[in-house]
Structure 1
Amino acid sequence: MDRYQHVYVMRHGHRLDNFDPDWAAKAARPWDPPLFKDGMVRAFQTGQRIGSQTGYPIHRIFVSPFLRCIQTASQVVAALSSLPNAMSSINKTKLKVAIEYGLCEMMNSVAIWSVVSPKDGKFDFDISDLESMFPEGMVDHNVDPIYKEVPKWEESPEKCRERYVKVVKTLADKYPTENLILITHGEGLLTTFSTFYKDTTVLEVDYCAYVELRREVSSKDGSVVETGEYEVAQSGIRFSHDPVTIPTPF
């Protein structure tokens, strides 16, 4: 039976240090800011928009371990669960969440300033504490992560972009009959959009902007037979493009 797989790749909400210039100086983890209050609101609203505009279930959410992404994912989960008219399609009792290191921020001084990064280059995350931010039973501990640890500090921008593309493609192929939301950082969203939406130059990526990748998946007797090419839609990304034919948005 033919159907579509939908993969959302979403940027986190507004980060606190961009609104409170004094926060980093007194923070224990100045490289891992939480969301600003407006970031919480926008994350929730974005989750509502995705949930209310879809006629298909969201099965899994994968998220970067950085606090701003975890908090964004938590708000998205809350938003999806708050939509009574979409409960049957969202099916919150079956929605699963997993932390994926491959969705991390670009691990270099371009994205994380040296003045706030750990002096030893080690970025520690208390995974149990992060997982506790989601409803009981929602975290899937059986998921085998694509990246089993944080990428090494001072990775090149090129390696980082390769990482993002690998994670998006691998997760989509790993769960071809499920619809996914991947919550990451600005560079991850920029890379995803420019990779799947050819001949574009991204000018700006808003907080909580997202790309929706859609492809046809043909299955028979429960096994995937064939997958089609991705169609791309987006929200909150400003870009320019060369004179090419742009696919009709869906």
Structure 2
Amino acid sequence: MESPKSNIDDGYQNVFVMRHGDRIDNFEPLWVSTAEKPWDPPLVQDGMIRAFRTGQRIRSQIGFPIHRVFVSPFLRCAQTASEVVAALSAVNVDPNAMSSKDVPSIDNSKLKVSIEFGLCEMLNAVAIRRELAPKDGNFDFSISDLEAMFPEGMVDRNVDMVYKELPKWEESVEGCRDRYVKVVKALADKYPSENLLLVTHGEGVGTTFSTFYKDTTVYEVDYCAYVELRREPSSKDGSVKAGEYEVVLSHGKAGIRFSHDPVSHEPVISQSPV
């Protein structure tokens, strides 16, 4: 049961929704020809570095802690989250550090990580080439292997997933977008007194941005781009409730290219996330 006492330092619940880092198949096209799981590419080294630096940037800019991280079961998302949380929870922050290998120690006592099936990639041919998808529809994710990527004591295995199983292959694009919005809202409502980071895929970030920042069309979401949502909680009768979501535009749209002009449809180019 959630405690009515709020952990929030700045008066708002803050929810970051982030895309994973640079995936190997977009840089080494032949990788898929020999991969055991061609539908589940890992990050390249530059993706690891980008993820770590994005974690550093978030830590330096926001001025409040992240309490929980929820991660898509795809390998690239778990690797991204591992680098980001290393930067967020490093005890001694070296501004020249490039990755989690450069972090001597981290504080596992506060930040918690959990896998969430509902944050997974769109399971259709729009996102995953049909010839690369598993023929039997079994994406074969090992949750224990993904959890082992995080420091001991950081993974919270007592959290119930919003989606108990993966969506079925060939889910619709609209169904996937509805799924992303449902998961963001459900996790925020489940932990209203905590700040969250959700590591997912480009469609999840773009959908979140266009849903909560009205009258926008998202054109592109960079690697490790993120949107920040916040809402003001209020405590009534010992319970914590929260108001409407708003997108924090000061640093909450890094790496997202979008249009917010219903007349001219001129694109807005946001700042790169690193």
Greater share of residues in helix: 1
Segments of 5+ residues of structure 2 without an aligned counterpart are 1-5, 94-105, 264-274
- Per the alignment, residue 112 of structure 1 pairs with 128
Looking at structure 2, the residues matched to 103 and 226 of structure 1 have their Cα atoms a distance apart, in angstroms, of 22
Looking at structure 2, the residues matched to 243 and 119 of structure 1 have their Cα atoms a distance apart, in angstroms, of 43
Give the aligned CA root-mean-square deviation in angstroms: 2.0
Looking at structure 2, the residues matched to 13 and 184 of structure 1 have their Cα atoms a distance apart, in angstroms, of 10
Between Structure 1 and Structure 2, how many residues are aligned?
241
| Cα distance change on mapping 1:114 and 1:186 into 2, 3 Å | same
Looking at structure 1, the residues matched to 167 and 64 of structure 2 have their Cα atoms a distance apart, in angstroms, of 33
Structure 1 residue 80 corresponds to structure 2 residue 99: no
Q: Percent of pairs identical after alignment?
A: 72
Deviation of 1:16 (Å): 0.3
- Per the alignment, residue 224 of structure 1 pairs with 240
Segments of 5+ residues of structure 1 without an aligned counterpart are 245-250
Deviation of 1:227 (Å): 2.3
Partner of residue 41 from structure 2, selected from 24, 30, 33: 33
Looking at structure 2, the residues matched to 229 and 149 of structure 1 have their Cα atoms a distance apart, in angstroms, of 27
- When the two structures are superposed, what TM-score results if normalisation uses the length of structure 2? 0.83
- Per the alignment, residue 192 of structure 2 pairs with 176
Partner of residue 138 from structure 2, selected from 111, 122, 126: 122
Structure 1 residue 212 corresponds to structure 2 residue 228: yes
Looking at structure 2, the residues matched to 47 and 7 of structure 1 have their Cα atoms a distance apart, in angstroms, of 14
- When the two structures are superposed, what TM-score results if normalisation uses the length of structure 1? 0.91
Q: Do the aligned partners of 2:192 and 2:242 also contact (CA within 8 Å) in 1?
A: no
- SS of equivalent residue, structure 2 residue 210: helix
Q: Which amino acid aligns with 2:177?
A: R
Greater share of residues in strand: 1
Looking at structure 2, the residues matched to 54 and 232 of structure 1 have their Cα atoms a distance apart, in angstroms, of 11
Q: Do the aligned partners of 2:122 and 2:176 also contact (CA within 8 Å) in 1?
A: yes
Alignment of 1:5-84 (within 5 A): 5-82=13-90, 84=92
Looking at structure 1, the residues matched to 133 and 15 of structure 2 have their Cα atoms a distance apart, in angstroms, of 31
Deviation of 1:243 (Å): 4.8
Looking at structure 2, the residues matched to 199 and 78 of structure 1 have their Cα atoms a distance apart, in angstroms, of 36
Deviation of 1:134 (Å): 0.2
Q: Which amino acid aligns with 2:144?
A: S
Partner of residue 140 from structure 1, selected from 156, 159, 162: 156
Deviation of 1:3 (Å): 1.6
